[in-house]
Amino acid sequence: MSNYSHLISDDIMQREYLDRIMSADQAVQMVKDGDRVYIGTASSMPDELNEALARRKDQLQDITVMCSNPKLPSAAIECGAFNTHSYFIGDQERRHYGEKTFDFSPIHLSQVDIWCQHIGRPSVAFFEVSPPDENGYMSYGASGVILHEYVKKKADRIILQVNCHAPYVYGENNLIHCTEANAIVEFDHEIGIIPDVGVDDTMQKICSYVLDHIKDGSTIQLGIGRVATAMGYLLKSKNDLGLHTEVIGDSCMELIKSGNINNSRKTYFPGKSLCGFALGSSQELYRFLDRNENLHFQPFPILNNPYNIAKNDNFISLNSAMSVDLTGQVASEGVGFRQFSGTGGQLDYVKGSQMSKGGKSFILLESTFHSKSTGKSGSHIVSTFDPGTVVTTPRSEVQYVGTEFGCVNLKNLSVKDRVKAMISIAHPDYRDQLYEEAKMYKLL
């Protein structure tokens, strides 16, 4: 029995849809030993299919499940019977990092098509999609547009999970037709959300240094997390902003609703907010995306292409970091040999924004940290990284770096001048130490 076949107006297409309807347990019988199964990304996770696959853990051998940053617990990962491969690590995958069954690919998100073709190489694809439109097309939903078309081209078996809560989004390569599926499972569930991080005084202070650089009419990259939330409040003083961002969150939604983002002065896709995927701290965001003609979703290789980013005049990119060294190297994905997230799209936007006419790039971070688990405190501005720490953005690409103690432009500075500038925005408690270390390493 189908809940959604009646939405298709053509009788033949309706029959094609109905012929593919089955239970999740029936659908995952298509998975065979040795398969590489793509199981979803971020807020597009087909959880019923993943549960059904986990129920087959004692029947299958040499299975690899592939995903990125799931926002709901995935039984296919947690069952412990399968290998896991991620191209951007989230909370759930992080718990398994370092296990023999876990692997990770460091890629720029603008090159996710290469990951699908040559690294991930899925043989089976699980996609969560919206209910069908009158022609039998279903949208890839809140997070699927970024890479599902590339996954579909590589996989030889496609299983769809239709979810009434998955938004029907517009854009490029945003749809899949019912006839392209080998099986269709209907299962409704609310989409995973992220915690509302709130705004503290320190992050507001950091972001305040950026505000004067953002003109009315600028196009911004504004994602999720503390930087995006703080900037979301501050940007209510700006007008006619454009949006071109890899991830859209609640702060972006609020700025669109308030009219601060209207894309009226954009030079690339004027009138449209461009985004790749969505992560909400509320279900309201996913409802906002549904059939919203003002939003245009694009796959990462198009959206995050620095040359496309640069087509926006006065582009402002805002990215966070875990640590920055005195010469401007940026570590944003891990500390030591511990991978925390992934390469992501940071360098794509750092490069694209500076190629933009009037554009600027900002790396923003708190000057210090305090670990609740270890009780240790320290500086996020360092003379040298811990062994194994990955450089996400090389110093040659970095422009502005900001903390709560100021914002400096490193682009046109020599190494010695960079070191002095970075010490000036470090926490006062660590400046003397950093100065002495800089002299010891002959940086000054």
3-state secondary structure 240-294: CEEEEEEEECHHHHHHHHHCCECCCCCCCCCCCEEEEEECCCCHHHHHHHCCCCC
| pLDDT of 392 above 90 | yes
| φ, ψ at 423 (rounded to 5°) | -65, -35
Question: Fold match between 5-186 and 201-440?
Answer: yes
| pLDDT of 223 above 80 | no
The type of residue at 95 is R
| pLDDT of 373 above 70 | yes
pLDDT tens for each residue of 102-135: 999 999 999 999 999 999 999 999 999 999 999 9
Question: How far is the C-alpha of 15 from the C-alpha of 104, rounded, in Å?
Answer: 41
Residue among 364, 369, 366 nearest 320 (CA): 364
Question: How far is the C-alpha of 304 from the C-alpha of 312, rounded, in Å?
Answer: 12
* Confidence at residue 222, expressed as pLDDT on a 0 to 100 scale: 86
- The single residue listed with the structure tokens 């790396």 is 363
Question: How far is the C-alpha of 410 from the C-alpha of 135, rounded, in Å?
Answer: 53
CB 363 within 8 A of CB 369: no
Find all residues with CB under 8 Å of 139, minimum gap 6, and list them: 129, 130, 166, 167, 168, 169, 174, 175
Find residue 86's DSSP bridge partners: 67, 104
Find residue 184's DSSP bridge partners: 21, 160
* Confidence at residue 375, expressed as pLDDT on a 0 to 100 scale: 80
Question: How far is the C-alpha of 197 from the C-alpha of 250, rounded, in Å?
Answer: 11
> Which residue in 246, 254, 404, 437 is the catalytic one?
246
Question: How far is the C-alpha of 345 from the C-alpha of 332, rounded, in Å?
Answer: 11
The type of residue at 101 is T
The CATH topology of domain 5-186 is Glutaconate Coenzyme A-transferase (3.40.1080)
Is 51 an annotated catalytic residue? Answer: no
End-to-end CA distance of the chain: 73
| pLDDT of 232 above 80 | yes
Q: How far is CA 298 from CA 155, 192, 443, in A?
A: 20, 21, 43
Task: Pull the structure tokens for residue 175.
Answer: 């749809």
- Please report which confidence band the pLDDT of residue 228 belongs to, taking 50, 70 and 90 as the band edges: confident
Residue among 141, 125, 119 nearest 53 (CA): 125
pLDDT tens for each residue of 259-315: 999 999 999 999 999 999 999 999 999 999 999 999 999 999 999 999 999 999 999
Domain map (residue ranges) of the chain: 5-186, 201-440
**HSE-up of residue 18 (Cα within 13 Å, Cβ side):** 14
Q: Quick count: other Cβ atoms within 10 Å of Cβ 62?
A: 11
Residue 425 burial (CB < 10 Å; 0-12/13-18/19+)? buried
The CATH topology of domain 201-440 is Glutaconate Coenzyme A-transferase (3.40.1080)
- Please report which confidence band the pLDDT of residue 224 belongs to, taking 50, 70 and 90 as the band edges: confident
Residue among 384, 400, 396 nearest 434 (CA): 384
The angle subtended at Cα 344 by Cα 343 and Cα 350, nearest 5°, is 95
Q: Quick count: other Cβ atoms within 10 Å of Cβ 201?
A: 9
Q: Give residue 408's Cα distance to chain centre.
A: 27
**Residues above pLDDT 90, as percent of the chain:** 89
* Confidence at residue 372, expressed as pLDDT on a 0 to 100 scale: 79
- SS3 label, residue 408: strand
Question: How far is the C-alpha of 11 from the C-alpha of 21, rounded, in Å?
Answer: 16
Radius of gyration (C-alpha) of the chain in whole angstroms: 23
Taking residues 371-395, what's their average pLDDT? 92
**Residues above pLDDT 70, as percent of the chain:** 100
Question: How far is the C-alpha of 101 from the C-alpha of 209, rounded, in Å?
Answer: 44
Taking residues 208-224, what's their average pLDDT? 93
- SS3 label, residue 145: coil
pLDDT tens for each residue of 40-91: 999 999 999 999 999 999 999 999 999 999 988 899 999 999 999 999 998 8
| pLDDT of 1 above 70 | no
Question: How far is the C-alpha of 329 from the C-alpha of 318, rounded, in Å?
Answer: 16
